[in-house]
Amino acid sequence: MPRVVLVTGKGGVGKTTTAAATAVRAARSGLRTLVMSTDAAHSLGDALDVDLRTAVTWRESHQVETRLHALAVGAHTAVEADWQVVRDYLLGALDAMGVDPVVADELTSLPGAEEVTALGALAHQAHSGDWDLVVVDCAPTAETLRLLGLPEVLGWHLDRLLPAQRRLLTVLRPAATVATGVPPPGPDVLAVLRAWRELMVEVRTLLTSPRASVRVVLTPERVVIAESRRVLTSLSLHGYAVDAVVVNRVLPPGPVGDEDPWWSAWTTAQAAGLDRVRESFSGIPLLRAPYLSGEPIGAQALAELAEATRGDAAPDLMADVDVPRMRVAADGADFLLTLPLPLVSASQVALSRRDDDLVVEVEGQRRLVTLPSVLRRCVVQDAEVGGGELRVRFERDEELWASGR
Protein backbone atom coordinates (compact mmCIF):
# COMPACT_ATOMS: atom_id res chain seq x y z
CA MET A 1 0.00 0.00 0.00
CA PRO A 2 1.19 3.53 -0.68
CA ARG A 3 1.32 6.12 2.06
CA VAL A 4 -1.81 8.32 2.00
CA VAL A 5 -1.75 11.86 3.42
CA LEU A 6 -4.95 13.93 3.51
CA VAL A 7 -4.48 17.67 3.84
CA THR A 8 -7.34 19.76 5.18
CA GLY A 9 -8.04 23.05 6.89
CA LYS A 10 -10.36 26.03 7.01
CA GLY A 11 -10.89 27.67 3.64
CA GLY A 12 -8.19 30.17 2.79
CA VAL A 13 -5.44 28.93 5.14
CA GLY A 14 -3.31 27.48 2.33
CA LYS A 15 -4.15 23.78 2.39
CA THR A 16 -3.91 23.42 -1.41
CA THR A 17 -0.51 25.09 -1.45
CA THR A 18 0.62 22.85 1.42
CA ALA A 19 -0.64 19.69 -0.29
CA ALA A 20 1.01 20.65 -3.59
CA ALA A 21 4.31 21.57 -1.90
CA THR A 22 4.33 18.27 0.00
CA ALA A 23 3.76 16.36 -3.22
CA VAL A 24 6.42 18.23 -5.21
CA ARG A 25 9.06 17.70 -2.55
CA ALA A 26 8.20 13.99 -2.27
CA ALA A 27 8.38 13.47 -6.04
CA ARG A 28 11.72 15.24 -6.26
CA SER A 29 13.04 13.00 -3.48
CA GLY A 30 12.34 9.97 -5.69
CA LEU A 31 8.84 8.92 -4.64
CA ARG A 32 6.20 8.14 -7.24
CA THR A 33 3.64 10.72 -6.12
CA LEU A 34 0.05 11.52 -6.95
CA VAL A 35 -1.59 14.68 -5.63
CA MET A 36 -5.36 14.63 -6.04
CA SER A 37 -8.05 17.18 -5.23
CA THR A 38 -11.48 16.30 -3.87
CA ASP A 39 -12.60 19.93 -3.79
CA ALA A 40 -15.31 20.75 -6.34
CA ALA A 41 -13.87 24.28 -6.57
CA HIS A 42 -10.28 23.10 -6.61
CA SER A 43 -7.31 25.36 -7.27
CA LEU A 44 -4.72 22.59 -7.41
CA GLY A 45 -3.98 23.25 -11.07
CA ASP A 46 -3.46 26.93 -10.32
CA ALA A 47 -0.97 26.13 -7.55
CA LEU A 48 0.96 23.72 -9.78
CA ASP A 49 0.61 26.10 -12.76
CA VAL A 50 -0.84 23.39 -15.01
CA ASP A 51 -4.14 23.00 -16.88
CA LEU A 52 -5.82 20.50 -14.54
CA ARG A 53 -9.40 19.66 -15.45
CA THR A 54 -11.90 17.44 -13.64
CA ALA A 55 -11.24 13.85 -14.66
CA VAL A 56 -13.81 11.81 -16.56
CA THR A 57 -12.58 8.52 -15.05
CA TRP A 58 -10.74 7.54 -11.88
CA ARG A 59 -7.73 6.50 -13.94
CA GLU A 60 -7.02 9.89 -15.46
CA SER A 61 -4.11 11.92 -14.14
CA HIS A 62 -1.97 14.77 -15.44
CA GLN A 63 1.82 14.47 -15.41
CA VAL A 64 3.29 17.59 -13.83
CA GLU A 65 6.92 16.50 -13.88
CA THR A 66 8.95 13.33 -13.43
CA ARG A 67 7.34 11.11 -10.76
CA LEU A 68 4.61 13.70 -10.06
CA HIS A 69 1.04 13.40 -11.34
CA ALA A 70 -2.10 15.39 -10.42
CA LEU A 71 -5.76 14.37 -10.48
CA ALA A 72 -8.98 16.31 -9.83
CA VAL A 73 -12.25 14.44 -9.31
CA GLY A 74 -15.82 15.71 -9.17
CA ALA A 75 -19.45 14.61 -9.07
CA HIS A 76 -19.39 13.43 -12.70
CA THR A 77 -16.23 11.36 -12.49
CA ALA A 78 -16.84 7.67 -13.25
CA VAL A 79 -19.45 6.86 -10.59
CA GLU A 80 -22.32 8.23 -12.69
CA ALA A 81 -22.48 5.01 -14.76
CA ASP A 82 -23.19 2.93 -11.65
CA TRP A 83 -25.65 5.43 -10.21
CA GLN A 84 -27.67 5.43 -13.45
CA VAL A 85 -28.79 1.85 -12.71
CA VAL A 86 -30.14 2.91 -9.32
CA ARG A 87 -31.54 6.15 -10.71
CA ASP A 88 -33.50 4.39 -13.46
CA TYR A 89 -35.16 2.18 -10.84
CA LEU A 90 -36.00 5.15 -8.62
CA LEU A 91 -37.46 7.11 -11.55
CA GLY A 92 -39.69 4.16 -12.43
CA ALA A 93 -40.82 3.73 -8.83
CA LEU A 94 -41.62 7.43 -8.45
CA ASP A 95 -43.50 7.43 -11.75
CA ALA A 96 -45.62 4.50 -10.52
CA MET A 97 -46.39 6.55 -7.41
CA GLY A 98 -47.56 9.49 -9.56
CA VAL A 99 -44.66 11.83 -8.75
CA ASP A 100 -44.19 14.63 -11.27
CA PRO A 101 -41.25 13.75 -13.62
CA VAL A 102 -39.50 17.07 -12.97
CA VAL A 103 -39.69 16.53 -9.20
CA ALA A 104 -38.61 12.91 -9.64
CA ASP A 105 -35.55 14.02 -11.60
CA GLU A 106 -34.51 16.30 -8.73
CA LEU A 107 -35.18 13.63 -6.10
CA THR A 108 -32.99 11.08 -7.85
CA SER A 109 -29.84 13.17 -8.19
CA LEU A 110 -26.96 11.34 -6.56
CA PRO A 111 -26.67 12.39 -2.90
CA GLY A 112 -23.10 12.96 -1.82
CA ALA A 113 -21.86 12.50 -5.39
CA GLU A 114 -18.60 14.37 -4.81
CA GLU A 115 -17.81 12.35 -1.68
CA VAL A 116 -18.60 8.96 -3.23
CA THR A 117 -16.54 9.79 -6.31
CA ALA A 118 -13.61 11.04 -4.24
CA LEU A 119 -13.58 7.89 -2.12
CA GLY A 120 -13.79 5.68 -5.19
CA ALA A 121 -10.96 7.51 -6.92
CA LEU A 122 -8.79 7.32 -3.80
CA ALA A 123 -9.41 3.59 -3.40
CA HIS A 124 -8.61 2.93 -7.05
CA GLN A 125 -5.41 4.98 -7.03
CA ALA A 126 -4.22 3.54 -3.72
CA HIS A 127 -4.58 -0.01 -5.04
CA SER A 128 -3.25 0.68 -8.54
CA GLY A 129 0.37 0.02 -7.63
CA ASP A 130 1.40 3.20 -9.45
CA TRP A 131 2.27 5.31 -6.43
CA ASP A 132 4.46 5.37 -3.35
CA LEU A 133 2.59 8.38 -1.96
CA VAL A 134 -0.90 9.79 -2.52
CA VAL A 135 -1.46 13.34 -1.23
CA VAL A 136 -5.11 14.36 -1.07
CA ASP A 137 -5.98 18.05 -1.22
CA CYS A 138 -9.32 17.92 0.59
CA ALA A 139 -12.16 20.40 0.53
CA PRO A 140 -12.50 22.80 3.49
CA THR A 141 -13.02 21.20 6.88
CA ALA A 142 -16.82 20.78 6.92
CA GLU A 143 -16.80 18.95 3.58
CA THR A 144 -13.76 16.92 4.63
CA LEU A 145 -15.47 15.70 7.78
CA ARG A 146 -18.51 14.71 5.73
CA LEU A 147 -16.20 12.87 3.30
CA LEU A 148 -14.36 11.00 6.06
CA GLY A 149 -17.57 10.14 7.90
CA LEU A 150 -19.24 8.74 4.78
CA PRO A 151 -17.59 5.27 4.64
CA GLU A 152 -18.84 4.29 8.09
CA VAL A 153 -22.27 5.93 7.83
CA LEU A 154 -23.08 4.72 4.31
CA GLY A 155 -21.68 1.29 5.11
CA TRP A 156 -23.91 1.11 8.18
CA HIS A 157 -27.03 1.84 6.12
CA LEU A 158 -26.07 -0.53 3.30
CA ASP A 159 -25.42 -3.32 5.80
CA ARG A 160 -29.03 -3.04 6.89
CA LEU A 161 -30.54 -2.36 3.50
CA LEU A 162 -29.04 -5.22 1.53
CA PRO A 163 -30.25 -8.19 3.63
CA ALA A 164 -33.78 -6.77 3.66
CA GLN A 165 -33.74 -6.22 -0.09
CA ARG A 166 -32.42 -9.73 -0.74
CA ARG A 167 -35.28 -11.21 1.28
CA LEU A 168 -37.72 -8.99 -0.59
CA LEU A 169 -36.39 -10.19 -3.94
CA THR A 170 -36.59 -13.88 -3.08
CA VAL A 171 -39.85 -13.96 -1.11
CA LEU A 172 -42.00 -10.88 -1.55
CA ARG A 173 -41.39 -9.66 -5.10
CA PRO A 174 -44.76 -10.71 -6.62
CA ALA A 175 -46.76 -9.71 -3.55
CA ALA A 176 -45.00 -6.35 -3.21
CA THR A 177 -45.57 -5.48 -6.85
CA VAL A 178 -49.26 -6.35 -6.68
CA ALA A 179 -49.81 -4.58 -3.37
CA THR A 180 -48.04 -1.33 -4.16
CA GLY A 181 -47.75 -1.18 -7.92
CA VAL A 182 -44.05 -0.51 -7.45
CA PRO A 183 -41.63 -3.34 -8.31
CA PRO A 184 -38.82 -3.95 -5.81
CA PRO A 185 -35.28 -3.31 -7.07
CA GLY A 186 -33.78 -5.95 -9.32
CA PRO A 187 -30.46 -7.77 -9.01
CA ASP A 188 -28.64 -5.10 -11.04
CA VAL A 189 -29.61 -2.41 -8.50
CA LEU A 190 -28.53 -4.60 -5.60
CA ALA A 191 -25.25 -5.35 -7.37
CA VAL A 192 -24.47 -1.63 -7.46
CA LEU A 193 -25.35 -1.24 -3.78
CA ARG A 194 -23.17 -4.24 -2.88
CA ALA A 195 -20.28 -2.77 -4.88
CA TRP A 196 -20.65 0.51 -2.98
CA ARG A 197 -20.69 -1.38 0.31
CA GLU A 198 -17.45 -3.13 -0.61
CA LEU A 199 -15.97 0.22 -1.61
CA MET A 200 -16.91 1.76 1.75
CA VAL A 201 -15.24 -1.11 3.62
CA GLU A 202 -12.13 -0.82 1.45
CA VAL A 203 -11.81 2.94 1.92
CA ARG A 204 -12.53 2.85 5.65
CA THR A 205 -9.91 0.12 6.11
CA LEU A 206 -7.37 2.15 4.13
CA LEU A 207 -7.96 5.48 5.88
CA THR A 208 -7.88 4.02 9.39
CA SER A 209 -4.73 1.99 8.72
CA PRO A 210 -1.19 2.98 9.81
CA ARG A 211 -0.54 3.91 6.16
CA ALA A 212 -2.93 6.89 6.20
CA SER A 213 -3.04 10.14 8.14
CA VAL A 214 -4.43 13.66 8.09
CA ARG A 215 -2.44 16.90 8.18
CA VAL A 216 -4.31 19.91 9.49
CA VAL A 217 -3.29 23.26 8.01
CA LEU A 218 -4.01 26.44 9.95
CA THR A 219 -2.83 30.00 10.44
CA PRO A 220 -1.96 31.31 13.94
CA GLU A 221 -5.23 33.19 14.36
CA ARG A 222 -7.84 32.63 17.07
CA VAL A 223 -10.82 31.80 14.83
CA VAL A 224 -8.78 29.38 12.69
CA ILE A 225 -7.24 27.68 15.73
CA ALA A 226 -10.68 27.23 17.31
CA GLU A 227 -12.01 25.49 14.20
CA SER A 228 -8.88 23.35 13.93
CA ARG A 229 -9.36 22.17 17.51
CA ARG A 230 -12.86 21.00 16.61
CA VAL A 231 -11.48 19.25 13.54
CA LEU A 232 -8.99 17.31 15.67
CA THR A 233 -11.82 16.18 17.94
CA SER A 234 -13.96 15.10 14.99
CA LEU A 235 -11.12 13.22 13.31
CA SER A 236 -10.40 11.35 16.54
CA LEU A 237 -14.10 10.57 16.93
CA HIS A 238 -14.10 8.87 13.53
CA GLY A 239 -10.81 7.05 14.16
CA TYR A 240 -8.45 9.01 11.90
CA ALA A 241 -4.83 9.79 12.78
CA VAL A 242 -3.40 13.31 12.63
CA ASP A 243 0.36 13.05 12.05
CA ALA A 244 1.18 16.77 11.81
CA VAL A 245 -0.21 20.28 12.14
CA VAL A 246 1.10 22.81 9.62
CA VAL A 247 1.06 26.42 10.80
CA ASN A 248 1.09 28.46 7.62
CA ARG A 249 2.05 32.10 6.94
CA VAL A 250 4.23 32.58 9.99
CA LEU A 251 5.71 36.09 9.91
CA PRO A 252 9.46 36.41 10.37
CA PRO A 253 10.71 38.70 13.15
CA GLY A 254 11.16 42.31 12.12
CA PRO A 255 14.58 43.95 11.71
CA VAL A 256 16.49 44.68 14.89
CA GLY A 257 15.33 48.00 16.25
CA ASP A 258 12.18 48.01 14.11
CA GLU A 259 9.36 49.49 16.16
CA ASP A 260 6.68 49.52 13.46
CA PRO A 261 3.41 49.18 15.49
CA TRP A 262 1.57 47.26 12.75
CA TRP A 263 4.35 44.68 12.41
CA SER A 264 4.79 44.45 16.16
CA ALA A 265 1.06 43.84 16.72
CA TRP A 266 0.94 41.04 14.18
CA THR A 267 4.08 39.26 15.37
CA THR A 268 2.84 39.50 18.97
CA ALA A 269 -0.56 38.08 17.99
CA GLN A 270 1.10 35.27 16.02
CA ALA A 271 3.39 34.41 18.94
CA ALA A 272 0.32 34.06 21.16
CA GLY A 273 -1.37 32.00 18.45
CA LEU A 274 1.62 29.66 18.19
CA ASP A 275 1.51 29.13 21.96
CA ARG A 276 -2.19 28.25 21.66
CA VAL A 277 -1.45 25.80 18.84
CA ARG A 278 1.29 24.09 20.88
CA GLU A 279 -1.07 23.77 23.83
CA SER A 280 -3.99 22.50 21.74
CA PHE A 281 -2.06 19.97 19.69
CA SER A 282 0.40 18.79 22.31
CA GLY A 283 2.06 15.56 21.23
CA ILE A 284 1.44 16.17 17.51
CA PRO A 285 4.43 17.33 15.40
CA LEU A 286 4.19 21.02 14.54
CA LEU A 287 5.46 22.33 11.19
CA ARG A 288 5.85 26.05 10.47
CA ALA A 289 5.64 27.50 6.95
CA PRO A 290 6.87 31.06 6.46
CA TYR A 291 4.81 33.93 5.11
CA LEU A 292 6.40 34.45 1.70
CA SER A 293 6.81 37.71 -0.16
CA GLY A 294 4.83 36.31 -3.11
CA GLU A 295 2.52 33.45 -4.03
CA PRO A 296 4.30 30.10 -4.50
CA ILE A 297 3.06 29.21 -7.99
CA GLY A 298 4.58 26.34 -9.94
CA ALA A 299 6.60 23.29 -8.95
CA GLN A 300 9.86 25.10 -8.23
CA ALA A 301 8.29 27.69 -5.94
CA LEU A 302 6.37 24.95 -4.15
CA ALA A 303 9.55 22.93 -3.67
CA GLU A 304 11.19 25.98 -2.10
CA LEU A 305 8.21 26.44 0.23
CA ALA A 306 8.42 22.80 1.30
CA GLU A 307 12.14 23.21 1.98
CA ALA A 308 11.44 26.32 4.09
CA THR A 309 8.77 24.56 6.15
CA ARG A 310 10.38 23.53 9.41
CA GLY A 311 9.45 21.67 12.58
CA ASP A 312 11.11 20.69 15.81
CA ALA A 313 10.27 17.03 15.20
CA ALA A 314 9.13 16.76 11.59
CA PRO A 315 7.56 13.33 10.99
CA ASP A 316 8.91 10.95 8.38
CA LEU A 317 6.41 11.33 5.55
CA MET A 318 6.55 7.62 4.64
CA ALA A 319 6.50 6.19 8.18
CA ASP A 320 3.48 4.35 9.56
CA VAL A 321 1.36 6.32 12.03
CA ASP A 322 -0.33 5.53 15.32
CA VAL A 323 -4.07 5.31 14.73
CA PRO A 324 -6.52 6.25 17.52
CA ARG A 325 -8.40 3.04 18.31
CA MET A 326 -11.50 2.20 20.26
CA ARG A 327 -10.66 -0.20 23.08
CA VAL A 328 -12.85 -2.58 25.07
CA ALA A 329 -11.58 -4.19 28.26
CA ALA A 330 -13.02 -6.04 31.24
CA ASP A 331 -13.12 -3.99 34.44
CA GLY A 332 -14.18 -6.31 37.24
CA ALA A 333 -17.65 -7.56 36.39
CA ASP A 334 -18.16 -4.65 34.00
CA PHE A 335 -16.68 -3.67 30.64
CA LEU A 336 -15.08 -0.36 29.70
CA LEU A 337 -15.24 1.07 26.17
CA THR A 338 -12.65 3.79 25.56
CA LEU A 339 -12.70 6.11 22.55
CA PRO A 340 -10.03 8.79 21.91
CA LEU A 341 -11.77 12.19 22.09
CA PRO A 342 -9.45 15.15 22.73
CA LEU A 343 -10.28 18.78 23.45
CA VAL A 344 -13.87 18.32 24.65
CA SER A 345 -15.71 18.38 27.95
CA ALA A 346 -18.51 16.10 29.10
CA SER A 347 -21.11 18.81 28.37
CA GLN A 348 -20.20 18.69 24.66
CA VAL A 349 -20.76 14.94 24.30
CA ALA A 350 -24.12 13.17 23.93
CA LEU A 351 -24.57 9.39 24.05
CA SER A 352 -27.47 7.16 23.11
CA ARG A 353 -27.98 3.46 22.47
CA ARG A 354 -29.66 2.23 19.29
CA ASP A 355 -29.98 -1.56 19.29
CA ASP A 356 -26.44 -2.85 18.70
CA ASP A 357 -24.94 0.59 18.13
CA LEU A 358 -23.69 3.34 20.41
CA VAL A 359 -24.41 6.80 19.00
CA VAL A 360 -21.77 9.39 19.95
CA GLU A 361 -22.45 13.04 19.13
CA VAL A 362 -19.94 15.86 19.59
CA GLU A 363 -20.97 19.37 18.53
CA GLY A 364 -22.83 18.33 15.40
CA GLN A 365 -20.58 15.39 14.50
CA ARG A 366 -22.09 11.93 14.95
CA ARG A 367 -20.56 8.48 14.88
CA LEU A 368 -22.45 5.19 14.97
CA VAL A 369 -20.19 2.79 16.87
CA THR A 370 -21.15 -0.81 16.18
CA LEU A 371 -20.71 -2.56 19.50
CA PRO A 372 -18.72 -5.79 19.76
CA SER A 373 -20.80 -8.85 20.65
CA VAL A 374 -19.88 -8.83 24.33
CA LEU A 375 -21.28 -5.30 24.78
CA ARG A 376 -24.52 -6.09 22.97
CA ARG A 377 -25.50 -8.13 26.01
CA CYS A 378 -24.81 -5.18 28.31
CA VAL A 379 -26.41 -1.88 29.23
CA VAL A 380 -24.69 1.47 29.62
CA GLN A 381 -24.06 2.22 33.28
CA ASP A 382 -22.29 5.59 33.03
CA ALA A 383 -19.78 7.58 30.98
CA GLU A 384 -17.08 10.19 31.55
CA VAL A 385 -14.83 12.42 29.48
CA GLY A 386 -11.30 13.34 30.51
CA GLY A 387 -7.66 13.02 29.56
CA GLY A 388 -8.54 13.14 25.86
CA GLU A 389 -10.81 10.09 26.07
CA LEU A 390 -14.45 9.10 26.31
CA ARG A 391 -14.96 6.16 28.68
CA VAL A 392 -18.28 4.32 28.69
CA ARG A 393 -18.96 1.70 31.36
CA PHE A 394 -21.22 -1.24 30.48
CA GLU A 395 -22.74 -3.66 32.96
CA ARG A 396 -24.08 -7.07 32.09
CA ASP A 397 -27.74 -7.52 31.31
CA GLU A 398 -28.28 -10.57 33.49
CA GLU A 399 -31.26 -11.78 31.46
CA LEU A 400 -29.31 -11.72 28.19
CA TRP A 401 -26.20 -13.26 29.77
CA ALA A 402 -28.27 -16.07 31.29
CA SER A 403 -29.92 -16.82 27.95
CA GLY A 404 -26.53 -16.90 26.18
CA ARG A 405 -27.76 -14.57 23.41
185-228 pLDDT, tens digit each: 677 777 777 777 787 788 888 999 999 999 999 999 999 999 99
- Rounded to a whole number of angstroms, the distance between the first and last alpha carbons of the chain is 39
- Do 6 and 25 share a domain, yes or no? yes
- Do 396 and 272 share a domain, yes or no? no
Q: Which has the closest alpha carbon to 79: 118, 137, 105? A: 118
- Do 253 and 123 share a domain, yes or no? yes
- Do 207 and 125 share a domain, yes or no? yes
- Do 343 and 309 share a domain, yes or no? no
Tell me the pTM: 0.84
The SS3 call for residue 175 is helix
- Do 312 and 356 share a domain, yes or no? no
Domain edge (last residue) among 270, 300, 323: 323
The residues of the chain scoring below 70 in pLDDT are 75-76, 78-83, 86-87, 89-90, 94, 97, 99, 102-104, 106-114, 142, 147, 154-185, 254-258, 403-405
The SS3 call for residue 98 is coil
- Do 13 and 108 share a domain, yes or no? yes
- Do 264 and 389 share a domain, yes or no? no
Q: What 8-state DSSP symbol labels residue 347?
A: G
Count CB neighbours of 296 within 10 A.
21
Residue type, 163: P
CB 206 within 8 A of CB 212: yes
Domain count, the chain: 2
Tens of pLDDT, residue by residue over 299-358, are: 999 999 999 998 877 789 999 999 988 999 999 989 999 999 999 999 999 999 988 889
CB 270 within 8 A of CB 220: yes
Q: How far apart are CA 316 and CA 271, in angstroms?
A: 26
DSSP assignment of 263-299: HHHHHHHHHHHHHHHHHHTTTS-EEEEE--SS---SH
Domain edge (last residue) among 289, 323, 357: 323
CATH value at residue 355 = 2.60.40.790
Residue type, 330: A
How high is the pLDDT of residue 260?
Answer: 77
- Do 338 and 317 share a domain, yes or no? no
Q: Which has the closest alpha carbon to 3: 205, 211, 202? A: 211
- Residues counted in the chain: 405
- Do 346 and 251 share a domain, yes or no? no
Q: Structural domain of residue 355, as residue ranges?
A: 327-403
Domain edge (last residue) among 323, 340, 360: 323
- Do 84 and 133 share a domain, yes or no? yes
